[in-house]
A and B are shown apart, each in its own frame.
Chain A
């Protein structure tokens, strides 16, 4: 594809050790190493005044502007950590004369979610599910839908472990057409809904994120996609406790992320109860990551739910 050739071009234009100075704000960044490349541009680890930051650069300048607009709107969501914070936006002219746009954001250091769960155990699945739903809930309540929700766009930052979004380029205003998506995570591809930006679009992708942990090589759709996805959930051992909630999310039964979170919490409570009954009787109050998360979140969920009822 043509896109890929443009990537090759980037990687030769921007190299580690290079200095990049912005045309408008005159700040200087030292390129350290390449972190990744996506549909719109490449991301580099850089250093500004001795501090690490992530710099995304591309010659698709209008697409970059659109992404910056999203980051700015998310930044206006008060007290939230939805997406990395934006530090600078500028233009750069390569020695060859080609013009690029770039933006600099907070550098998030962490581990991929699959690796983390593999290493620390499947009990973290429920924790990350709740964290992710909590963030989606905030995003949706502010009138946005994540769009391109996939495992590559998520990172587990440590102490304490927390899911963070690293690429919010696909974030779309509710009611519009999804800006960017990846087929495997897209309900349109599976013939299970439209590409209209609504909370249920993200909740479908949410299920696919957790399926990806058990099917890292993914799988292709067959003639009965719905049946197939249900089967894949049933066959993933770690997802079994959540299977009914995940099924409902797949077929768009949840209109809001709060509804889904409420039912997920119920499931997690039940798991905990079983644990305390069948498990260590002597320490029924042992502090699981679940319990901490669950208590706080269930209070939030209940209040959001009540508020949402008031406005219906």
Chain B
């Protein structure tokens, strides 16, 4: 209880200036945009709002660049230690100077040494062009941030919460993360701003159209989860993180099991007519713990659902065809979506559950020109090389390469389970009969006779691909009643926990894309 010392006053004064961020007018502007101050974001993110910080005094001598525009912190989220970098957009619009970059690199190094997840809370105008020689090209320039991200990928989870712009080179931070949350109306990503686009290529376009959150989460697929507020982004990011271990050497935590959501049974949900659509989300609800589904890329390529969930308290990554959207057919974007999701789950020991109801990969000029063959190959490569437990469930049809993509028997799933409604074939009965007998069918002149012939051939074909025949030939491993599917999956996830595959040594496969 002595008098305050002069040096303490000086420290307090400097800290007060650091904690208050940039000029008052920029704080006001953030409020208008429904954006939170960086330290309020961190208070929401960390358990009890507690964290330690490094580099608080970065660039303190400059006077007007508190913390050099970025807060780097370590603390607990859901009881799990994480490292965070968070731009302060009240300081020169969150732009990067040399110390900003050095701070980001150092917090990445801390995350690496402690083997804990790294979160990037991005709200930045990009490089400070006036400082370019100090922050751009050198060994510990901005490029090192991305180099580190690539090295850390699959080692620790990396998550991006995009609250504002992520411009030019800065747009690669989200690109190298496992998942990107975007706040609608405020978040954006682009290599060149609309102003630059107009100057350089003559295009007139709005920011929303070119790099807005909704566009990226529905069209480009660069964004994964679209949210309406920053609070929602933080809550959802925490929920996402709860599925993951701290690093690749650990396993996801098991939590208390919950019953399924009340609703219709799988028998009621799945129509017998193979060609009639149904909502796969409803079928997923009938097998997972209530309220656990975390949709990844919900708005992008909706013909394929990818999401994290829990079955009997155990984490699982679900890849499911959605017959309600585009008939559940696989496209370039759906292949792309599944590839990243499978790679994500496999990296962090989350078992994969495939729910197949797929007519195959899309055909036609449009998709061939877009390279559907190599994108399909990319999906099959990711699925094939995943070493986590893989469970393949044939819900209804699985035709052609669709069977392969959904971890069919040849791809070493731990089990291939068929529901009694399953139909596995190179193609559906209609297409197959047309393909084999088209000349014969055309030659029959009497329409009644022709119909009779076609129906006979359909019946023969259906017999050929009867699911019990496939079970008898041991092509599929099991046939399970829809009502028994959940408990079957719960048991298998429990028993496969110790699965280990050692791949033959090599440097790495050559990826199809």
A and B physically associate: no
Q: Which residues of B contact A (CB under 8 A)?
A: none
